[in-house]
């Protein structure tokens, strides 16, 4: 019983014994790291809303 993994970059089947697992090769691993580094992946997700509706009276 062995689960089948696929490379998240190029979607080819990857064995769990692969050196670059879960990637199929060093190139895909580098591409994935690069995506995180340059901010292509949105980690934060939600934008910070403006709080214009806070009615604070300052005298």
Structure-token pair, residue 17: 């014994």
Structure-token pair, residue 56: 């604070």
Phi and psi (nearest 5°) for 48? -80, 120
Cβ proximity to Zn ion: between 4 and 58 the closer is 4
Question: What is residue 47's DSSP assignment?
Answer: P
Considering the complex, what minimum distance in angstroms separates the CB of residue 22 from Zn ion? Answer: 9
Rule CB under 5 A: choose which of 1, 5, 7, 59 binds Zn ion. 7
Q: Does 29 help bind Zn ion (rule: CB under 5 A)?
A: no
Cβ proximity to Zn ion: between 15 and 52 the closer is 15
């Amino acid at each position: 019983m062995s689960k089948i993994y696929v490379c998240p970059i190029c979607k080819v089947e990857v064995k769990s014994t692969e050196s670059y697992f879960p990637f199929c090769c060093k190139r895909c691993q580098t591409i994935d790291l690069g995506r995180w580094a340059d901010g292509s992946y949105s980690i934060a997700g939600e934008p910070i809303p403006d709080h214009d509706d806070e009615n604070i009276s300052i005298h």
